[in-house]
Structure 1
Amino acid sequence: MVVHKKLIVSLLGLGAMSLVQGADVTNAMLENAAKDSGNVLSFGMGTQGQRYSPLTQINSKTVAKLTPAWSFSFGGEKQRGQESQPLIYNGKMFVTASYSRIFAVDLKTGAKLWKYEHRLPDGIMPCCDVVNRGAALFGNLVIFGTLDAQLVALDQTTGKVVWKEKIDDYAAGYSMTAAPLIAKGLLLTGVSGGEFGIVGRVEARNPLTGQLVWMRPTVEGHMGYRYDKDGKATENGISGTLNKSWPGDLWKTGGASTWMGGTYDASTGLAYFGTGNPAPWNSHLRPGDNLYSSSTVALDIETGQIKWSYQNTPNDSWDFDGANEFVTFDMDGKRFGGKADRNGFFYVIDAKNGKLENAFPFVKKITWASGIDLKTGRPNFIAANRPGDPTKGEEGKKGTSVFSAPAFLGAKNQMPMAYSPQTKLFYVPANEWGMEIWNEPVSYKKGGAYLGAGFTIRPLNEDYIGAMRAIDPKSGKIVWEIKNNAPLWGGVMTTAGNLVFYGTPEGYLKAVDAKSGKELWKFQTGSGVVAPPVTWQEGGTQYVAVVSGWGGAVPLWGGEVAKKVNFLEQGGSVWVFKLAAK
């Protein structure tokens, strides 16, 4: 580990820290980031993940005049899968790109200031393309994760490496694609790799040195740890009860990866991480609920303890995950979290105690469950629509195939939604598709795909797959929707200017009226948009930015859907817009 000489850190107890010098981005700034119209300091445009801006210069009346200010190309031959959200601070844009790259770009001119290109080894195993979703800022550092499961901290001014830490063994399937989260002076990260039988977890580190503070696994039965200033580990309690929800030994390779990162709400003091699918996909091998897979876990920042958890899909048989973001918001004087799950249901949960308030479909076709029991919080499973047990048929053959909706890529996948406290609506990029799915025999092998299932994704409708939907979390109603031919795979932003911005695989960045859904503006970026837009104001001018570059899981895993979008071109660039001069 390399430590920058200018950064002097003292650990106070177990996690609190005091910065002697070089503290450009502070805790206070990050906790107020959602209200900071001059910067974009964190993934989610605020740690709560609402992706809402109070800016109004670009609004439903002026947005038609939006025009490009500049564009920056990531260059090279690595034009593939650009899912990054830019960060804006101190006259610079910090934007990650595919293959574990990061750039600093001058905000005024679009000129490259520096580039860091992580040297990736042969044999990396990202399940869902070579993507990176963004970085974190703290002190004078910009920090991001890599496809070979490392964390890298760079000097914001020079791009020089300040520290670098290995998270885990990439040869075992571990990787890191999510943007890190800074909460209460700690750097919180998850891990990717659930399709390879890794063990999901959340880690807290000193962001100025990379030193571990605590680690909490997200598969029941594994031990959590705390670390002293010398790096010595002490047991911090088992995550749940051994074998309670994971009979046998499959908990040892249980998946539940925290591959989308987390959110943090200062009013509750909790960080919220979604967890991925249990491993393997063949659920007949792992009876029980398989905690804490396909769940939301709420973690105490100070200790790393799981304060509450809510499982969206117990004993997940369809790879529905539960990794989607938990976005906190106020409703009826209480703090709740909203989650549009891959399984097709939207959940409204008390952010303090995890009690389910409401759950309802946000897509038109769901076959695996008839609904969610609001008293127990459990789904009402439809038994006939669970893939069959391969051991019940001929030896070595596949189990009974079923048609399931949504498909395993989900009613909503990695593309983050937005919430407007102005309209009190969530804006959700949804997809309507299904799949043929069946189970197969499988055994764990380090570094090998650990599925035990086969599948083919199919469209449900002739005229559309994607749908941008405005959803009322109180009533559960879809207020408006905009259909899209290709799957939606990019995130959403909403503003006090009564606007919703989102991108499409066809290459458009669009702005629509937040109350009605009426399209007001669009721009062709030259490649598919699979990333979330951001906005900020500098020198009295409001800007909007989005990364463009087709890729991600759809062309890799999309079956018949992938055939429908194979005409789309890859790319790698960031576009910045402002209102045209009068």
Structure 2
Amino acid sequence: MKRLISTFALAAGLAVWAAAAVAGPVSNDDILKDATSTGDVLSYGLGPQGQRFSPLAKLTPETVAKLVPAWSFSFGGEKQRGQEAQPLVHDGVMYVTGSYSRLFAVDARTGQKKWQYDHRLPEGIMPCCDVVNRGAAIHGNKVYFTTLDARLVALDKDTGKVVWNKKLADYQAGYSNTAAPLVVEGKVITGNSGGEFGIVGMVEARDAETGELVWQRPMVEGHMGTLNGKESTMTGKLNASWPGDLWKTGGGATWLGGTYDPETRTLFFGTGNPAPWNSHLRPGDNLYTSSTVALNPDTGEIKWHYQTTPHDGWDFDGVNEFVSFDLKKDGQTIKAGAKADRNGFFYVIDRTNGKLLNAAPFVSKITWAKEIDLKTGRPVYIDDNRPADPSGAEKGKPVFAAPAFLGAKNWMPMAYSPQTELFYVPANEWGMDIWNEPITYKKGAAYLGAGFTIKPLYNDYIGALRAMDPKTGKIVWEYKNPAPLWGGVLTTAGNLVFTGTPEGFLKAFDAKTGKEVWKFQTGSGVVGCPITWEMDGEQYVAVASGWGGAVPLWGGDVAKLVKDINQGGSLWVFKLPKA
């Protein structure tokens, strides 16, 4: 009996020692292993490649009915708006950002707040698409996030005290930041927002300890990059694809942040729309806007680029996340990446060199292009569907274009399951009346040169969660939702797919069939990104709830359809209790 008690004591002691061993600072290696670790969530995308796949398998289509709320945490009664964040979890603490540039640390077991940081925002910030923030990053003893007045803030992860606070850009010129940073090999990598104000898209790397700038890479041709405080190389070639001085206010914002592939040591950032929207003012491809750009993490040099919408005239952007995966096809395994673009096509690209492997529609109606030429990689345009040149008039001839500029898929990240070998894409079916207008650049003013009204394509649904086969480009299954889908997706080894709806539900689907197997009403529209992790032997799921984002602000006729959805601001955590 004494020996048995001693054995239990030893086991308990080892468990305490093991728990203590994993506590403390977050290392580069911890972040690289985030996709396979189950006791934490250390990066936006549940791993630097952004697959949003968890190897946890206790929750299944059969057991998910037992998933119950563990606790809920309020972000505050006044500062609601869109809650688009993905939480992080480390050492029993959850870190989640909220609207209006706030960051909360919450006990992951109880929901009790440990600390809160409210960034002091100045008057005159110019966020394009709501006062959202999509998440934080963690490294060492610091947690990092960006703000609506274009700053990068590092906080002590245990106390919430400011360690450093760096200016990224001039908010009075239209710059802002909403994306979750990415930590790669001791550097904090950020993108910027503000493409509607004629800013210049940028990717920056800063030392995670000091916040000092390591390198900077502009995303518009003609601008000079920097490395270690000195000019490095020009992005592209001056006036190669931009006329006159338009490159100086060319847009190309990197507002969704990036992903990182450790196998090829490559950063991938999507770039936004060229400015202004009126494409007749800027003949040419307008590099490197509406593209995926591959970058060297040490220097910021461009390895390759792939432009999804050259000479973009519909505000399709190319900012959507590029997710690395291994494409198994015809007996070969290809280091690939996939992107569900706002323009309506699902792209599969060789991530080592940027070569297009396949492109297929993931929505039912695309009017701006007939197809993507797989030999050239370029779209085959339908010229009559480009908004017309106003030719000195107040307004050019309108066209009806699909998808709408809010995209076949907007910011909300998709997920990939190595088990099913499918991507799960939150899509939307809508179109728009769009026309061009004359415009000149003015610092801090909207720089569109276009007008628009978004309209639903169908009476019974707008949103559609679709399972895409990257080998064929075919849709395997779909779930249709009345309101637009505007939240991220999570998939698990338990054969589940989670996503939220504006109607307030967090839902779970069978990853193979698309059958809905569970749902929970959170009280407000879910436009955040769900996560899952294991704690104390139980599997947990969390998601932020709070309706907002671009749809109620820019949605035209669609905004009228969803005007009665209540705002909110809360974090919901669920768990599968032990048997």
Match for residue 234 of structure 2?
238
Deviations 1:337-366 (A, max 9, x none): 000000000000001100000000000000
CA distance in 1, matches of 2:535, 2:529: 20
Distance 1:23 1:64, change over 3 A: closer
Query: Which amino acid in the other structure matches residue 405 of structure 1?
Result: A
1:352 aligns with 2:352: yes
The residue number in structure 1 matching 2:168 is 167
1:14-49 superposed Cα distances (whole Å, 9 cap, x missing partner): xxxxxxxx9711111111110010000000000000
Aligned to 1:337: 337
Name the CA distance, whole Å, in 1 between partners of 2:176 and 2:296.
24
1:267 matched to 2:263? The reply is yes
Query: 1:397 Cα shift?
Result: 1.7
Q: SS of the residue aligned with 1:69?
A: strand
Structure-1 residue corresponding to 2:496: 499
Once the two structures are TM-superposed, the CA of residue 418 in structure 1 deviates from its matched residue by 0.1
Please give the alpha-carbon distance, in whole angstroms, between the structure 2 residues aligned to 1:31 and 1:491.
21
Aligned position for 2:548: 551
Is the 8 Å Cα contact of residues 23 and 138 (structure 1) preserved in structure 2? no
C-alpha distance in 2, partners of 1:152/1:580? 37
Runs of 4+ in 1 over 3 A off after TM superposition: none
Q: For 1:85, give the aligned amino acid.
A: Q
SS in 1 for 2:35: helix
Residue 455 of structure 1 pairs with residue 452 of structure 2: yes
Residue of structure 1 aligned with 2:425, choices 417, 428, 432: 428
The Cα offsets for residues 258-285 of structure 1, whole Å up to 9 and x where unpaired, read as 0000000000110000000000000000
CA distance in 1, matches of 2:64, 2:508: 8
For residues 268-318 of structure 1, give each alpha carbon's deviation from its aligned partner in whole angstroms, at most 9, with x where no partner exists. Answer: 110000000000000000000000000000000111100000000000000
Q: Which residue of structure 1 lines up, in the alignment, with residue 122 of structure 2?
A: 121
CA–CA distance in structure 2, aligned partners of residues 90 and 503 of structure 1? 26
1:390 aligned to 2:387? no
* Partner amino acid, structure 2, of 1:327: V
Q: Which residue is 2:19 aligned to?
A: none
**For 1:132-155, what per-residue CA distance to the aligned partner results, in whole angstroms no more than 9, with x for missing partners?**
000000000000000000000000
Look up the match of 2:50: 49
Question: Does 1:472 pair with 2:469?
Answer: yes
State the match for 1:378 in structure 2. 378
1:21-420 matches, within 5 Å, as 24-227=25-228, 233-332=229-328, 333-391=333-391, 395-420=392-417
1:172 is matched by which residue type in structure 2? A
What residue ranges of structure 1 are gaps of 5+ in the alignment?
A: 1-21, 228-232
Which one-letter code corresponds to 1:110 in the other structure?
G
What's 2:12 paired with?
none
CA–CA distance in structure 2, aligned partners of residues 322 and 538 of structure 1: 37
Following superposition, the deviation at residue 580 of structure 1 comes to 4.2
Kindly state the Cα deviation for residue 235 of structure 1 after the two structures are TM-superposed: 1.4
**Greater mean deviation of Cα atoms: 567-576 or 331-340:** 331-340
Which whole-Å deviations, capped at 9, do the CAs of 1:108-131 have from their partners, x for residues lacking one? Answer: 110000000000000000000000
Unaligned runs of 5+ in 2: 1-22
Q: Per the alignment, in what secondary structure is the counterpart of residue 46 of structure 2?
A: coil
Q: TM-score, normalised by structure 2?
A: 0.95
**Identity percentage over the alignment?**
71
Q: Displacement of 1:76 after TM fit?
A: 3.2
Q: CA deviation at 1:215?
A: 0.3
User: 8 Å contact 1:346–1:359 — kept in the other structure?
Assistant: yes
Give the equivalent residue in structure 1 for 2:562.
565
State the distance in 2 between where 1:352 and 1:211 align: 30
Partner Cα separation in structure 2 for residue 40 and residue 215 of structure 1: 28
Give the aligned CA root-mean-square deviation in angstroms: 0.9
Number of equivalenced pairs: 553
Deviation at 1:184, TM superposition (A): 2.0
For the pair 1:541 / 2:541, whether they are aligned, the reply is no
2:107 and 2:394 mapped to 1: Cα distance? Answer: 58
With normalisation by structure 1, the TM-score equals 0.94
Distance 1:466 1:60 in 2: 23
| CA distance in structure 2 between the aligned counterparts of 1:581 and 1:526, rounded to whole angstroms | 27
